[in-house]
């Protein structure tokens, strides 16, 4: 298996630390609002990655966090806590907000057929461990105190910025906002003090004063707690490369002298017109409920995500979405037909296609080509229907389009009776009458196909 590793900026062979076991951490949502389709694209990419690992017989221990405190409105440690801000706006408690949007998030994952992580972990459940990590960093001389918190001194770590592209190093720090009193523009908060005179809902005592942990510290602690250090794979969207993941790596390296994870995989953005990313701060978000309200099956959005490589931006439009919905519908119709045919499996062809498929998914997740291969299988006249069906179901272990759940809708009694009568006419060689009946059946939205086992009835189209 080969993946593009942001750490080396190369496609590398994947070698896990422990034989056939893989430790994987994916940065989870900040639960202050519904996940938008951009966020969900990243979670779909991570789900595909996990399915590819499992397809290769790896046992994946997957940890996903819930950021329920500490993510500020600016990634540069300024601004308000996103959850506290939303709580004020909705006149609810911060815990209620976090709980509500966590539930909504989990529901979205289910609707998109994204597999659950092995462990869910909330940032607020690991505060003690986070304080311990900051104490360790303090002991090793990587921290300093200013008026609003305890900060990490990035100038003390020679390897800081490992994930950055080389040219970034020249303009070091140009990307982050300046915060008053910070020693270096790239320094980041480990512990923020509760602002004077403000009673935060989420705050804890610490050796430095009442406050809350920094977002980058949370992920280091939660990943190491369940996976140890180093672990195999860390993922997120590309926006996490320059700040969040850079700062996770820095803390782990300063505290333990080790790289946090060996492989860093990042998914590109979902974009809209003029290459603008979908984002809450851009004010252009679309959520899964919006699609459902418009009659779109969430799996049609999943299908759309499969059509583009995870390292390429994906353009979102209602046209692209309805094309995906149509493709999915066509696919379900094909599956339904294949499902009802029985014929021999010629092992050779099956294995040939399976090998091709494996090569594609194992080469940095070439899912768009794997999807094209699936259509090629369906259209291939040289292989039997049973073989096609078996292959497509096998491929769907990666695509996750629920092809094994495609079911024939109930055929109304009236149609069944018409088919039986048509059969009778056919046996009596009354072809004209039989043909007339077939037309009538079609007008009512059904198709009859004469197979070796007798007539099969299908709906003209399947709603997805």
Binding site for ligand AMP (CB under 6 A): 27, 29-30, 38-39, 41-42, 236-237, 239-240, 267, 269-270, 277-279
Question: Which CB atom, from 48 or from 403, has the smaller least distance to ligand AMP?
Answer: 48
The interface partner of residue 219, options being Zn ion, ligand AMP, none and the CB cut-off 5 to 8 Å by kind, is Zn ion
For residues 464 and 329, the answer to whether their CB atoms sit within 8 Å is yes
Nearest residue (CB) to ligand AMP, 42 versus 297: 42
When CB distances are held under 5 to 8 angstroms depending on the partner's kind, the choice from Zn ion, ligand AMP, none that residue 384 binds is none
CB 67, min distance to Zn ion, A? 7
Q: Strand order of the sheet with strand 211-213? A: 143-146, 149-152, 188-193, 211-213
Strand residue runs (E) in 91-178: 119-122, 143-146, 149-152
Select the binding partner of residue 153 from ligand AMP, Zn ion, none (C-beta < 5 to 8 A, by kind).
none
**Nearest approach, Cβ of residue 347 and Zn ion (Å):** 45
Q: Which 25-54 residues touch Zn ion, going by CB under 5 A?
A: 27
* Residue number with CB closer to ligand AMP (29 or 70): 29
Give the C-alpha separation, 21 to 57, whole Å.
9
By a kind-dependent CB cut-off of 5 to 8 A, residue 30 interacts, out of ligand AMP, Zn ion, none, with ligand AMP
Pull the structure tokens for residue 156.
Answer: 């003390």
Minimum Å distance from CB 35 to ligand AMP? 7
- Binding partner of residue 39 among ligand AMP, Zn ion, none, CB under 5 to 8 Å per kind? ligand AMP
Residue tagged 């794979």 (tokens): 233
Q: Which of 219, 249, 288, 360 binds Zn ion (CB under 5 A)?
A: 219
Beta carbons of 249 and 259 less than 8 angstroms apart? yes
- d(C-alpha 157, C-alpha 402), whole Å: 48
- Smallest gap from Cβ 219 to Zn ion, in A, equals 3
**Does the protein bind Zn ion through residue 235 (CB under 5 A)?**
no
**How far lies 431's CA from each of 215, 348, 387, 444, in Å?**
74, 41, 34, 20
List, in sequence order, every residue forming a beta bridge with 3; answer none if it has no partner: 12
Please, what is the minimum distance in Å from the beta carbon of residue 37 to Zn ion? 20
Q: Which is nearer to ligand AMP, 30 or 154 (CB)?
A: 30
In the complex with Zn ion, the residue whose CB is nearer, 219 or 374, is 219
- Chain positions 8 to 27 lying near Zn ion, rule: CB under 5 A, are 27
- Spatial neighbors of 427 by CB under 8 A, at least 6 apart, are none
Q: Which residues pair with 67 in a beta bridge?
A: 30
Give dist(CA 20, CA 60) in Å, integer: 9
| Pair 211, 191: CB distance under 8 Å | yes
Partners of 122 in the beta sheet? 66
Please give the DSSP secondary-structure letter assigned to residue 357: H
Interaction between residue 448 and Zn ion (CB under 5 A)? no
Positions that interact with Zn ion (CB under 5 A): 27, 219
């Amino acid at each position: 298996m080969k993946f593009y590793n942001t750490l080396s900026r190369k496609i590398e062979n994947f070698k896990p630390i422990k034989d056939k076991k893989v430790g994987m951490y994916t940065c989870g949502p900040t639960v202050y609002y519904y996940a938008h389709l951009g966020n969900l694209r990243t979670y779909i990419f991570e789900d595909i990655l996990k399915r590819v690992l499992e397809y290769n017989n790896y046992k994946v221990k997957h940890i996903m966090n819930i950021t329920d405190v500490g993510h500020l409105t600016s990634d540069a440690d300024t601004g308000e806590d996103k959850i506290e801000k939303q709580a004020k706006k909705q006149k609810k408690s911060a815990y209620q907000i976090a709980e509500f949007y966590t539930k909504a998030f989990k529901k979205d994952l289910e609707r998109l057929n994204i597999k659950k992580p092995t462990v869910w972990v909330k940032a607020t459940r690991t505060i003690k461990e986070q304080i311990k990590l900051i104490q360790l960093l303090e002991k090793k001389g990587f921290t300093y105190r200013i008026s609003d918190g305890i900060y990490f001194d990035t100038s003390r770590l020679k390897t800081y910025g490992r994930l950055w592209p080389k040219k970034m190093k020249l303009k070091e720090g140009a990307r982050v906002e300046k915060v008053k009193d910070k020693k270096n523009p790239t320094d980041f908060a480990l512990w923020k003090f509760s602002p004077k005179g403000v009673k935060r809902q989420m705050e804890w005592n610490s050796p430095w004063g009442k406050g809350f942990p920094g977002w980058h510290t949370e992920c280091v602690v939660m990943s190491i707690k369940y996976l140890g250090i180093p672990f195999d794979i860390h993922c997120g969207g590309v926006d996490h490369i320059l700040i969040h993941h850079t700062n996770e790596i820095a803390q782990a390296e300063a505290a333990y002298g080790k790289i946090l994870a060996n492989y860093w995989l990042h998914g590109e953005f979902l974009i809209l017109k003029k290459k603008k990313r979908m984002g809450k701060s851009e004010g252009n978000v679309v959520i899964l409920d919006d699609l459902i309200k418009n009659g779109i099956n969430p799996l049609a959005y999943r299908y759309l995500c499969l059509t583009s490589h995870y390292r390429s931006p994906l353009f979102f439009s209602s046209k692209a979405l309805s094309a995906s919905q149509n493709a999915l519908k066509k696919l379900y119709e094909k599956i339904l037909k294949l499902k009802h045919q029985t014929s021999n499996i010629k092992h050779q062809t099956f294995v040939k296609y399976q090998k091709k498929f494996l090569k594609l998914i194992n080469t940095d997740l070439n899912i768009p080509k794997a999807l094209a291969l699936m259509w090629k299988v369906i259209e291939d006249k040289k292989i039997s229907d049973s073989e096609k069906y078996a292959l497509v179901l096998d491929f769907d272990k990666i695509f996750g389009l629920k092809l094994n759940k495609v079911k024939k809708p109930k055929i109304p009694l009236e149609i069944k009776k018409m088919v039986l009568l048509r059969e009778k006419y056919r046996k009596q060689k009354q072809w004209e009458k039989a043909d007339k009946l077939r037309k009538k059946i079609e007008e009512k939205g059904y198709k009859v196909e004469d197979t070796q086992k007798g007539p099969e009835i299908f709906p003209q189209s399947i709603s997805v």
